[in-house]
A and B are shown apart, each in its own frame.
Chain A
Amino acid sequence: MTIDSILDGIAALFMVIGGLMSLAAGLGLVRFPDLHSRMHAATKPQVLGLLMLVLAAALMWRSWPWVVIALLAWGLMILTAPVSAHVVGRAGYRTKHMRADLLAEDELATAVDRLSRQRGVRREVKDD
């Protein structure tokens, strides 16, 4: 049981966890009923799955510069995933790609309704 085998074992564990995250994303994409819950499932491999695989690769490489570059890839994903999720979720809400009957409470609807009563403001989902 050398240090190499221990690192290999940890890397193998991280790999399998990353694969399970992507499997969870796929199952969530298939099973979940509407856009926003599918987005919830779709962010699993973006952050945790990719982090696990980056750590696995870093453990297998055992060299620090490549670890930095791999973490740069992960950090780029961390920076861009909220933006794309925001844009997609906003477009999904505005265009009613959600099922309002599944929501426990829709707090955004009152704000959107209040805003859309002012004229000159961009029209929101619910005005009529």
Chain B
Amino acid sequence: MTLLDTAYWLTQFLLALGVLCAVYRVYKGPSVLDRVISVDVILIIVGSVMLVEMAYHGSTDYILFVLVTAVIGFLGAVAIARYVAVRQPDAQDRARRAQVEAETLAGAPASEPETPESPLGAGAQPHGGTLINDESTSWFAALARSGFVPSRKRDRPAEVQPDKDSDPGAEERPEPGDPR
């Protein structure tokens, strides 16, 4: 029985370390998607803690909560990822990324998820990336809802950054304009 005790406490310690790392990533994560997967990991580890507890005490009290935890993690990840792709967090991302960039101007930005140079070689400035994000995601969000395509597409880059959408606007702006 002492072996099982040792394994129990060792496992709880390891799970606690995993949760702490995930909480650190939730706090530090540069984007919302990092936080989403970290919260997903936290939920899974909470379910794991309940499983270990049940295995140690030989009870089956929390098995329903393990089920619910799995479902909640899935639904939360999907919903938040969809919501990220649609509209809001890019504004937060811009602010956060500007802050991170201002902080780490001296050193190499280690955890910056943005592409310094893009594979297709167009000019992707450190802030241009988020602008293109915002534009592309709002584009297919606008396609998802039917009627709002041209107005949303026009409004979005004008309020985001007026100087940036002059470059992509030459070939992107006629696209939503054509069907209307």
User: A residues bordering B, Cβ < 8 Å?
Assistant: 8-9, 11-13, 15-16, 18-20, 22-27, 29-30, 33-35, 38-39, 42, 45-46, 49-50, 53-54, 56-57, 59-61, 66, 69-70, 72-73, 76-77, 80-81, 83-84, 87-88, 90-92, 94-101, 103, 106, 109, 113, 119-120, 122-128
Contacts and interface: CB of A to CB of B under 8 A. Distances in A.
Contact of B115 (A27, A46, A84, A101): A101
Given A19-B13, A45-B41, A45-B45, A26 B3 contact: no
Contacts of B132: 96, 125, 128
Identify whether the interface residues of B are mostly helix, strand, loop, or mixed.
Answer: helix
Nearest to A124: B136
B40 to A, nearest CB: 6
Contacts of B175: 119, 123
A35 B58 CA distance: 38
Contacts of B117: 100-101
B98 interface: no
Contact of B90 (A23, A59, A95): A95
Given A49-B44, A106-B119, A125 B136 contact: yes
B11 A18 contact: yes
Contacts of A59: 55
Contacts of B1: 8
Contacts of A83: 74, 78
A123 B37 contact: no
Nearest to B57: A60
B105 interface: no
